[in-house]
Amino acid sequence: MIELRELSKSYPARGPAVRGLNLTVASGEFLVLAGPSGCGKTTTLTMINRLTEPSSGTVLVDGVDARSTDPVALRRRIGFVFQDIGLFPHLNVAENAGIVLRLLGKSPAEIGARVDELLALVQLPAQEFRDVFPAALSGGQRQRVGVARALAASPRIMLMDEPFGAIDPITRDGLASDYRQIHERLGLTTILVTHDMTEAILLADRIALMREGRLVQVGTTNELISAPADDFVRAMMESPRRRSEALASALRAGSRA
Amino acid sequence: MSGDAGTFAAAFANLPDYLGWHVLLSVSAILIGVAISLPLAILCVRSPLLRASALGLASAIQTVPSLALLALFYPLLLALSAFTRASFGIGFRALGFLPALAALTLYSMLPVLRNTIAGIDGVDPAVKTAARGVGMTSRQSLWIVELPLAAPVILAGIRTAAAWVIGTATLSTPVGQTSLGNYIFSGLQTENWIYVLFGCAAAAALALIVDRLLALAEDGVVKRSKARLLASVVGLLIVVGASLFPLFASAGGKPIVVGTKSFEEQYILGALIEDRLRDAGFQTTRRDGLGSTVIFDALASGDVDVYVDYSGTVWADDMKRTNLPGRQVVLREMAAWLERTHGIGYAGPLGFENAYAFAMRRDRADALHIDTLADLAARAPQMKIGGDYEIFTRPEWRAVERAYGLKFGVERQYQANFMYRAVASGDVDVISAFSSDGRIAEYDLKVLSDPKGALPPYDAVLLVSPQHAKDAALIAALMPLVHALDLRTMQRANLAADRAIDKRTPDDIARGLDVEIGTRAMKR
C-alpha cells in the first residue's frame, strides 16, 4: 500500500510542481495518474521512490516513511519503467534484465535462471534475445526488456512513467494489455503515469486526475464520468469518446467520398 | 656513400639505449599521468569548482613551451633535493629522468582529463537516470554504467596523450635524459642530418605503432571485441618489453657519467673522455647537450661526474668575478674556489682556449680597416652582430660593451652553425665566434684583437664531481688528457665535425684524437 500525505514539491526556478497531494493506493490496485503535460504527475511518481525528494509531506510505502528508508534500497524494492526506456546500451538483454539482481549480489546462475523467467514473462524468447544488445531491438522489444528489468527483484510495487509513450500505436496496445496481465498474474501494485485518457480508461482500476500540481479527483472510470468534480474532469473523461465519435464521422465521410 | 653507411651503422648502434630510455620515460609518464588524471576527472565530474580549476591548470600547463617546462623542473627538483638532503639526509638526482618524467606527466594529463570528463558528461541522461532508478549507488553508476560508456572517449584521450608524450620526450635530452632526442640534438649541433632524420623517424615510428595499438583497443571497446582488446594489450607489452630489454640486460655497476654541453667540441671531448675511462676499465654513460649552468649544478650535485668547462665561464658565471687578473691566476683561483665551495675536483687544463672571439669576414674587415674591438666600436651602430643563444645576456658581453662602448644596430641570435654561415653570407657583419672553432679558418674570418683585455681567458678544464674528486684511479685515467690538446689540434678536430663535406662523427674524431695523444705521449 502506498500513501501520499500533503505531498508537495517546488523548484527554486519553476515554483510549485506538486501542491499538497493526498492519495492512497491499495495493494494490488492499478492506479493511473493522468493529466495534461506539466501537471506534476511524473514528479509525484518519482517522489515515491525518492528519485525526486519531496519539499514537504510524507510518502508511506507499506506503512513505512520513505524518508527513513535508504533511497538505494527503496529503489531496488520498487520496479520503475521509464518513458525513454533507458536500457544500458553496453549491456546485452540478459545483463540489462538482471542488473538489479547483480546489484543485490545474486550468483550468476541464480541471475541466469531468473532472467530466463523474466524474458518469458515479457514474451521475449530467451534463446533468441538473451545476448542481443539494445541497439538491435525494436522500440517495443526494448520496453519489454525495460519491464523485465523492473520486475527482476520481484517487487510488489511498479512505477511506470508513460512507459508506452515512445512506442508506435500498434505495438503500444499489445504491450499495454500484456502488462495489465502481468500485473494481475503477479498481484502487483502499479502506478502508471499517462496523458493518454484512452490508455488510462483501458488500464486503470482507478484514475487520479491532476491539474497544475493538484489532485482534482480520484475514482473509477464510471465514478469520474457519472459524477465529475468539475468541467476539467468532465472534459478529460469525455475526450476519448469525443475523439472516437469524430473519428467515426471522419471515416463515414471518407467512405462516402 | 660509405660515409653515410657508417653514420647509419653508428645511429643503429645507439638505438637500443636511446629507444629503451625513450620508451621507459614515455610509458612511465603516461601511466602516472593516467593514474592521476582518471580519478581527478571523476572527482571533477561531481564538482564544478574542481573541474574549472583542474582543466584551467592543465590547459595553462599545455601553453608552456615543452622545452621550457622540461627545463623548469631541473631547478625545482634541485631545490627540492637540497631540501630533502638537508632535512632527511636523502637527496635525489635532479637531472635526467625525474625532471623529464615530471614534465611529461603534466603534459599527458590534459587530454586524459578533458576526454574523461567529456566522456562521462556525454553519457545519455536517460541512461544515468535509469541507473539511479534501478537502485545503483553513485559509485555503482560510475563503474557499471558511466565509465564503460565513456571508455572509448577516455581511450581516445589516452591516445592523444601517448602521441604528445612520445613526441615531446625527444626534448628531454637537454635536461640530461637519454632519449631518441639525442639523435636530433647531437645531429643538429654537428649538422649530421642523417642523425636528425633518424631520430625523427624513430620517434614518429614509435608514436605511430603505439597509436595504432591503442586505436585497436579503442575499436575493441566500441565493438565489444575481446580479441582486439587482447591483441592491443599484447602488442603494447611486446613493444614496451622489447624496448626495455636491452636497458636491463646491460645494467651493471654505477657508471661514471660524462657530461657535455651542446656543441661539437663538447661532443668530441665527451667521447674522448669516455674512451679514456673505458680503456682504464670504468663503466661510463653520457649526459649530452646540457645547458651551461645546468651542467655545472649537475656536477656539483653529482648528477654528472666529469665534464669539460672553460675557466672564463666558471670565473664569470659561477664565481661572479668581473676583474681579469690573467690566464694563470684565473686557473689557480678557480681551482681553489671549486674545491673550497663545492668540493669539485680540478684535473687540469686540456691545453687550448675556447674564448669568445669577435670575428668578421677578412675582406670586409680589411676594407673597413678594422683590426681591434676599438676599431669596431666606431662602425658598430651601422652594423649587425650575430651571437649564440647566450652571449648577449652574458657578463663578458657587458664587459666588452663597457670597455669599448660597443652598440650595434641589430643583434641577432643563431644556433652556432647558422651563425658562421650568417657572417660568411653577409647577413650579419660580426659574430661572437669561438677561438677553437675550425670554421674561423674555413670561412677565412678575421678575429679582432682585444687590446683592453676585456674578455676573460677560456681555458678548457677537466672538472670532476665531489664524489669522485679524490678517486685516484679516475684522476689517473684522465691525466693523459691534461695539456694534450693544443689550439690547432682542437680546431682541426672541430672542423672535421663541422664541415659539410667529408663530415665525421664526434665518436670517430675522438678515436683519432686518442690515437694522436697516445702517440705523442709515447714520443715524450
Is residue B6 pLDDT above 80, yes or no? Answer: no
pLDDT value of residue A191: 97
pLDDT value of residue B193: 85
Identify the H or E element spanning B186. helix B181-189
Q: Which residues contact B496 (CB under 8 A, 6 or more apart)?
A: B438, B502, B503, B504, B509, B512
Specify whether the CB–CB gap between B290 and B178 falls below 8 A.
no
φ, ψ of residue B323 in degrees (nearest 5): -75, 155
Model confidence over B104-153: pLDDT tens digits? 998 898 899 999 999 999 999 999 999 999 999 989 999 999 999 999 99
Nearest chain A CA: its distance from B58 CA (Å): 31
Is residue B55 pLDDT above 90, yes or no? Answer: no
pLDDT value of residue B279: 84
Specify whether the CB–CB gap between B274 and B286 falls below 8 A.
yes
pLDDT value of residue B12: 80
Residue B520: pLDDT band with limits 50, 70, 90: low
Question: B133, A86: Cβ pair inside 8 Å?
Answer: yes
Specify whether the CB–CB gap between B377 and B509 falls below 8 A.
no
Q: Report the b/e string of B285-322 with b at 16+ CB within 10 A.
A: ebbbbbbbebbbbbbbbbbbbbbbbbbbbbbbbbbebe
pLDDT value of residue A55: 94
pLDDT value of residue A257: 56
Q: Which residues contact A147 (CB under 8 A, 6 or more apart)?
A: A81, A122, A163, A179, A182
Tell me which chain B residues have a C-beta less than 8 angstroms from the C-beta of A98. none
Is residue B27 pLDDT above 90, yes or no? Answer: yes
Cell, residue A85: 526506456
- Domains of chain B, CATH where assigned: 2-249 (1.10.3720.10), 256-352+461-523 (3.40.190.10), 356-447 (3.40.190.120)
Q: In what order do the strands lie in the sheet containing B445-447?
A: B410-413, B384-387, B430-434, B356-361, B445-447
Specify whether the CB–CB gap between B173 and B185 falls below 8 A.
yes
- Return the biggest CA–CA distance within chain B: 93
Specify whether the CB–CB gap between A200 and A30 falls below 8 A.
no
Closest C-alpha to A136, from A166, A175, A92: A92
Helical H runs in B385-505? Answer: 395-404, 416-425, 439-442, 472-478, 487-498
Average pLDDT on A134-148 reads 93
- Domains of chain A, CATH where assigned: 2-225 (3.40.50.300)
Which of B126, B135, B224 is nearest residue A82 as measured by Cβ atoms? B126
Q: Which has more confidence, A32 or A251?
A: A32
- Measured in whole angstroms, the distance separating CA B8 from the mean position of its chain's CA atoms is 22
Q: Given CB atoms, is B229 within the 8 Å cutoff of chain A?
A: no
φ, ψ of residue B416 in degrees (nearest 5): -45, -45
Average pLDDT on A232-242 reads 92
Closest C-alpha to A84, from B133, B117, B138: B133
3-state secondary structure at position A187: coil
3-state secondary structure at position B278: helix
Nearest chain B CA: its distance from A104 CA (Å): 9
Which of B124, B136, B224 is nearest residue A103 as measured by Cβ atoms? B136
Is residue A219 pLDDT above 70, yes or no? Answer: yes
Residue B250: pLDDT band with limits 50, 70, 90: low
Average pLDDT on B73-86 reads 82
Model confidence over B354-375: pLDDT tens digits? 988 899 999 999 999 999 999 9
Residue A19: pLDDT band with limits 50, 70, 90: very high
CB atoms within 10 A of CB B283: 12
Please tell me whether the overall predicted TM-score, pTM, comes out greater than 0.80 for this model: no
Average pLDDT on B312-332 reads 87
pLDDT value of residue A99: 94
Q: Which of A 94-123 lie inside 8 A of B, CB atoms?
A: 99-100, 103
pLDDT value of residue B252: 53
pLDDT value of residue B253: 59
Percentage of chain A lying above the pLDDT 90 cut: 80
Is residue B381 pLDDT above 80, yes or no? Answer: yes
CA B439 to CA B359: how far, in whole Å? 11
Chosen for mutation from A43, A87, A92, A99 (greatest number of chain B CBs closer than 10 Å) is: A99
CA A97 to CA A85: how far, in whole Å? 12
Average pLDDT on B80-95 reads 77
CA A114 to CA A152: how far, in whole Å? 7
Specify whether the CB–CB gap between B206 and B19 falls below 8 A.
yes
Model confidence over A68-98: pLDDT tens digits? 999 999 999 999 999 888 899 999 999 999 9
CA B391 to CA B413: how far, in whole Å? 9
Is residue B189 pLDDT above 80, yes or no? Answer: no
Model confidence over A36-49: pLDDT tens digits? 988 999 999 999 99
Percentage of chain B lying above the pLDDT 70 cut: 96
Tell me which chain B residues have a C-beta less than 8 angstroms from the C-beta of A99. 134, 144
Average pLDDT on B168-184 reads 87
Could you tell me whether strands A206-211 and A30-34 are parallel, antiparallel, or unpaired per DSSP bridges?
parallel
Is residue B191 pLDDT above 80, yes or no? Answer: no
CA A77 to CA A64: how far, in whole Å? 13
Q: How many residues in chain A?
A: 257
CA B423 to CA A83: how far, in whole Å? 78
Average pLDDT on A94-106 reads 94
Least confident among B39-53, B328-342, B467-481, B494-508: B494-508
Q: Given CB atoms, is A136 within the 8 Å cutoff of chain B?
A: no
pLDDT value of residue A2: 94
Specify whether the CB–CB gap between B112 and B157 falls below 8 A.
yes
Average pLDDT on A202-219 reads 94
What mean pLDDT is reported for chain A?
92
The partner residues of A32 in beta bridges, in order of sequence, read: A192, A207
Q: Which of A 172-211 lie inside 8 A of B, CB atoms?
A: none
- Return the biggest CA–CA distance within chain A: 65
Could you tell me whether strands A189-194 and A56-61 are parallel, antiparallel, or unpaired per DSSP bridges?
unpaired
3-state secondary structure at position B16: helix
pLDDT value of residue B2: 43
pLDDT value of residue B524: 42
Q: Which has more confidence, B164 or B69?
A: B164
Least confident among A79-83, B85-89, B452-456: B85-89
Tell me which chain B residues have a C-beta less than 8 angstroms from the C-beta of A70. none
Cell, residue A235: 472534459
Identify the H or E element spanning B118. helix B97-121
Nearest chain B CA: its distance from A209 CA (Å): 25
CA B220 to CA B148: how far, in whole Å? 12
Cell, residue B296: 655545472
Is residue B379 pLDDT above 80, yes or no? Answer: yes
Nearest chain B CA: its distance from A81 CA (Å): 9
* Half-sphere exposure for A49 (CA within 13 Å, toward CB): 32
- Measured in whole angstroms, the distance separating CA B291 from the mean position of its chain's CA atoms is 7
Residue B89: pLDDT band with limits 50, 70, 90: confident
Q: Given CB atoms, is A82 within the 8 Å cutoff of chain B?
A: yes
Q: Given CB atoms, is A90 within the 8 Å cutoff of chain B?
A: yes
Model confidence over B192-202: pLDDT tens digits? 788 899 999 99
CA B217 to CA B223: how far, in whole Å? 10
Closest C-alpha to A51, from B57, B125, B216: B125
Question: B145, A88: Cβ pair inside 8 Å?
Answer: yes
Percentage of chain B lying above the pLDDT 90 cut: 37
Model confidence over A114-138: pLDDT tens digits? 999 999 999 999 999 999 999 999 9
Q: Which residue has the cell 657578463?
A: B395
pLDDT value of residue A256: 64
pLDDT value of residue B244: 85
What mean pLDDT is reported for chain B?
87
pLDDT value of residue A181: 94
Q: Which has more confidence, B312 or B191?
A: B312
Least confident among A2-6, B164-168, B250-254: B250-254
Residue B13: pLDDT band with limits 50, 70, 90: confident
